[in-house]
Amino acid sequence: MSNSVNNHRARRALQAGAVIAAVGAGYALRDINVVAQNGTETTAPPAQKSPVVQTPATRDAASMQGAFVDVASAVEPAVVTITTSAPKEGAAGAAPGGRGGVPRVRPFGQGQGAPNGAEPFGGDLQEFFKQFQRNFGMNEQSFHSDTWQGRVMREKWNEAKLKFTQEGRGGGGGLGSGMIYRADGLILTNAHVVRGADTVLVTLSDGRKFDKAKVLGRDESTDIAVVKIDATNLPTVKLGDSTDTRVGDWAIAVGNPFGLDHTLTVGVISAKSRQLNLAKDTRTDYLQTDASINPGNSGGPLLDIYGRVIGVNNAIYSESGGNQGIGFAIPVNTARFVADRIVKDGRVRRSYLGVEIRSVEDAETANGLGLPEGTRGVLVNKISNPNAPGARAGLQPGDVITKFNDQAVKTSPELQGLVGNSPIGSQAKLTIVRDGKTQVLTATLEELKDAAPAAPAPAPNAAPEALNGQVSPVPGLKVRNLSPEVARALGIKTVKGLVVTEVKPGSPADEAGLQRGDVIERVAQSPVSNAIEFGTAVDSVLKRQSGTSKKVALYINRGGESSYAFITVE
- Tell me which residues are annotated as active site: 192, 223, 298
Contacts of 98 by beta carbon, 8 Å cutoff, 6+ apart: 116
| Whole-angstrom distance, CA of residue 130 vs CA of residue 14 | 12
Contacts of 94 by beta carbon, 8 Å cutoff, 6+ apart: 110, 111, 117, 118
User: Quick one: angle between helices 8-16 and 125-135, nearest 10?
Assistant: 50
* Dihedral over Cα of 111, 117, 118, 121: its sign: negative
Q: From 347, 362, 57, 8, select the one nearest 171 (Cα to Cα).
A: 8
Coil, strand or helix at 372 = coil
Q: Where are the beta strands (DSSP E) in 411-474?
A: 427-434, 437-444, 446-447, 470-471
Contacts of 404 by beta carbon, 8 Å cutoff, 6+ apart: 415, 418, 419, 428, 429, 430, 431
Contacts of 443 by beta carbon, 8 Å cutoff, 6+ apart: 353, 389, 390, 392, 393, 395, 427, 428, 430
Beta bridge pairs of residue 331: 311
Contacts of 450 by beta carbon, 8 Å cutoff, 6+ apart: none
Q: From 560, 487, 494, 492, select the one nearest 527 (Cα to Cα).
A: 494
Residue 446 · residue 420 · CB < 8 Å: no
Beta bridge pairs of residue 210: 202
**Residue 465, Cβ neighbours under 10 Å: how many?**
5
Coil, strand or helix at 367 = helix
Query: What is the identity of the amino acid at 496?
Result: K
| Whole-angstrom distance, CA of residue 315 vs CA of residue 105 | 7
- For the chain, the distance separating the N- and C-terminal CA atoms, rounded to the nearest angstrom, is 46
**Burial status of residue 456 (CB atoms within 10 A of its CB: 0-12, 13-18, 19 or more):** exposed
Coil, strand or helix at 443 = strand
**Burial status of residue 139 (CB atoms within 10 A of its CB: 0-12, 13-18, 19 or more):** exposed
Residue 488 · residue 502 · CB < 8 Å: no
| Whole-angstrom distance, CA of residue 564 vs CA of residue 570 | 19
Coil, strand or helix at 206 = coil
In terms of phi and psi (left: phi > 0; alpha: psi -120 to 50; beta: otherwise), the region of 283 is alpha
